[in-house]
């Protein structure tokens, strides 16, 4: 297709009479424009116990992760950062069994505040999105760019050297059925290798044998379980296709090495041989 070239003029939304309410309406119509995935809106302008209102509370239906999102026209400032973190903290305390992400959206993120957010990112799962607005033949175009994402687990975290807790901690944080499903996966792995190692960390439950960990579980309040599996980059897409073919929720993770799976007991039972095959390969890969 021969596409025509059109010069775009970058503008600020305020200069063309658009305010934050207008921007929120565009996001509510199509949350995917934020570039955070196919999110669903739980509530807009959600009242907080602190007295403020969070612009958006969203979640990802695939993995259950919640996003506390603050949107700002113009330059990012200190109060915007503080509000975002405060609302994220309120929601994670309200629903501690769920994973939460703090999201800041602004038209301009200066180097000073980008550095501040980057430092906070080491302790808080915070995402920064910069909005660029353009005029093309009198048409307004919005382009959201993720300039800071959450930090992927380091090698030390993958090897289980994070803050260690015990099973009782997870029993209080998740559902009995979700933990039972993880136990069934451990039993399956014990048929592959007798040296199964389960490490209960505060943010996940790591699974490995004699090599590095290769699976990280996040038991839920529901009866399903969400976990990440390290397959290696070469066969990652093949594994995603295998799970999708049998109707199991699965997607590639951004680190290029892992896949993310949402699983029920019935799906594990119906696809036991498939899981045995893939866990065998992943266990071997973890020792290479």
Same-domain check for residues 139 and 14: yes
Of 125, 148, 171, the one marking the end of a domain is 148
Residue 169 has pLDDT above 70, yes or no: yes
Report the pLDDT averaged over residues 168-175.
Answer: 87
pLDDT value at residue 113 = 83
pLDDT value at residue 254 = 61
Say how far apart CA 81 and CA 116 lie, in whole Å: 9
Model confidence at 159, pLDDT cuts 50, 70, 90, reads: very low
Residue 1 has pLDDT above 70, yes or no: no
Count structural domains, the chain.
Answer: 2
What is this structure's pTM?
0.56
Same-domain check for residues 282 and 167: yes
Residue 154 has pLDDT above 70, yes or no: no
Burial of 60 (0-12, 13-18, 19+ CB in 10 A): middle
**CATH classification at residue 85:** 3.40.1350.10
Between 14-23, 100-109, 161-170, 203-212, the lowest mean confidence (pLDDT) is in 161-170
pLDDT value at residue 116 = 85
Q: Give the residue numbers spanning the domain of 72.
A: 9-148
Of 80, 115, 148, the one marking the end of a domain is 148
Say how far apart CA 147 and CA 149 lie, in whole Å: 7
**CATH classification at residue 264:** 3.90.1150.20
Residue 200: inside a domain, yes or no?
yes
- Cβ contacts of 42 within 8 Å, gap of 6 or more: 57, 58, 59, 66
**Alpha helices, DSSP H only, in the chain?**
20-29, 78-94, 111-120, 155-158, 167-173, 176-190, 236-245, 265-270, 272-286
pLDDT value at residue 253 = 73
Say how far apart CA 287 and CA 284 lie, in whole Å: 5
pLDDT value at residue 151 = 58
Of 148, 172, 204, the one marking the end of a domain is 148
Same-domain check for residues 14 and 144: yes
**Count of residues making up the chain:** 288
200-248 pLDDT, tens digit per residue, is: 988 789 999 988 899 999 887 777 888 889 888 788 888 888 988 898 8
pLDDT value at residue 37 = 85
């Amino acid at each position: 297709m021969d596409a025509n070239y059109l010069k775009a003029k970058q503008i600020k939304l305020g200069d063309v009479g658009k305010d934050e309410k207008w921007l929120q309406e565009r996001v509510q119509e199509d949350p995917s424009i934020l570039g955070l995935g196919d999110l669903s809106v739980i509530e807009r302008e959600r009242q907080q116990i602190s007295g403020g209102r969070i612009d958006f509370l969203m979640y990802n239906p695939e993995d259950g992760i919640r996003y506390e999102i603050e949107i700002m026209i113009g330059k990012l400032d200190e109060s915007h950062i503080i509000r975002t973190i405060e609302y994220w903290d309120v929601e994670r305390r309200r629903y501690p069994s769920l994973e939460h992400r703090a999201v800041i959206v602004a038209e301009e993120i200066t180097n000073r505040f980008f550095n501040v957010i980057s430092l906070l990112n080491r302790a808080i799962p915070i995402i920064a999105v910069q909005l660029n607005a353009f005029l093309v033949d009198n048409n307004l175009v919005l382009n959201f760019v993720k300039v800071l994402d959450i930090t992927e687990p380091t090698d030390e975290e993958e090897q289980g050297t994070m803050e260690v807790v015990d099973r009782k901690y997870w029993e209080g944080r998740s559902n009995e059925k979700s933990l039972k499903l993880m136990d069934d996966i451990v039993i399956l792995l014990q048929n592959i290798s007798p040296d199964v190692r389960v490490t209960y960390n505060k943010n996940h439950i790591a699974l490995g044998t004699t090599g590095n960990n290769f699976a990280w579980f996040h038991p839920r309040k529901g009866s399903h379980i969400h976990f990440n599996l390290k397959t290696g980059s070469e066969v990652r897409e093949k594994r995603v296709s295998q799970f999708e073919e049998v109707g199991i929720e699965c997607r590639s993770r951004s680190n290029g090495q892992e896949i993310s799976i949402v699983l029920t007991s019935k799906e594990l039972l119906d696809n036991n041989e498939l899981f045995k095959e893939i866990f065998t390969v992943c266990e071997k890969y973890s020792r290479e």
